[in-house]
């Protein structure tokens, strides 16, 4: 048995979590495939945290949470959180439950109403399609550093992708768009998430997506989660 096998499932590799969740209820009828995403991460990642380090553990936990929030439609099947206690807050706003995340999608809970995005007009599927169109190679995530350990885990992260596809009627610029933020995750003794607070500039992200010329083509590509 390897060291990873002795660790709780939710802080192991995301693909291991998926393998052990075969009988769960999946949004698209089957478990997600992160093969292409993993390849992109290997090519683009700036930080290669040592296995077993606090950074690697937190990164695995948050990636497992993002996967479950995007693809598992029953919060009680999420292994990364304490489902009945879980709350998610962005920039000091409303606290959302796991059921809220399942129904609305993370983007609709992250981004407030602006000129270029209105969460009231998007549902889980349309928001996922919209951002996947903009980042066809993936909009991936990694830990930069962990600033404090459990029970209040504070960490800096980066979310990035290449703007190769259209965002609404704005043409792609081909640039790498990076969002950097700080999150605070309160975890229990088993390292499951009870609450998570995110802090980042959502307006700067949208400004970069609307920097290109407008075009009349607003076709959408079928997709799953933009966090791939």
Query: What mean pLDDT is predicted for residues 57-73?
Result: 97
- For residue 116, name the pLDDT band (cuts at 50, 70, 90): confident
This prediction's pTM: 0.87
- Intra-chain end-to-end CA distance of the chain, in Å: 29
What is the structure's pLDDT at 161? Answer: 93
97, 100, 101, 103: CA torsion to nearest 10:
160
Check whether 25 has a pLDDT greater than 80. yes
To the question of domain 4-209 being in CATH 3.20.20.80, the answer is no
- Give the range among 4-8, 15-19, 45-49, 79-83 with minimum mean pLDDT: 4-8
The C-alpha angle 11, 201, 184, rounded to 5 degrees, equals 30
Q: How far apart (Å, rounded) are the C-alpha atoms in residues 151 and 180?
A: 23
The residue ranges of every structural domain in the chain are: 4-209
Question: 68: pLDDT confidence band, cut at 50, 70 and 90?
Answer: very high
**3-state class of 36 per DSSP?**
helix
């Amino acid at each position: 048995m390897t060291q990873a096998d002795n660790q709780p499932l939710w802080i192991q590799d995301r693909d291991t979590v998926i393998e052990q969740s075969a009988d769960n209820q999946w949004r698209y009828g089957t478990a997600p495939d992160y093969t292409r995403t993993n390849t992109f991460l290997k090519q683009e990642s700036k930080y290669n945290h040592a296995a077993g380090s606090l950074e690697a553990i937190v990164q695995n936990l948050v990636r497992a949470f993002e996967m479950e929030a995007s693809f598992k439609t029953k919060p009680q099947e999420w292994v990364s959180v304490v489902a009945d206690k879980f709350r998610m807050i962005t920039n000091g706003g409303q606290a959302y439950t796991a059921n809220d995340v399942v129904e609305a999608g993370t983007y609709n809970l992250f981004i407030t109403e602006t000129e270029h995005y209105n969460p009231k007009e998007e549902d889980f599927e349309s928001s996922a399609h919209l951002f996947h169109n903009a980042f066809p190679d993936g909009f991936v995530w990694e830990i930069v550093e962990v600033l404090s350990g459990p029970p209040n885990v504070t960490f800096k992260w980066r979310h990035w992708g290449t703007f190769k596809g259209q965002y609404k009627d704005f043409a792609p610029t081909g640039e790498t768009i990076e969002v950097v933020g700080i999150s605070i995750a309160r975890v229990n003794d088993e390292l499951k998430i009870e609450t998570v607070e995110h802090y980042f500039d959502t307006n700067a992200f949208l400004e970069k997506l609307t920097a290109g010329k407008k075009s009349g083509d607003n076709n959408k590509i079928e997709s799953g989660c933009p966090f791939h």
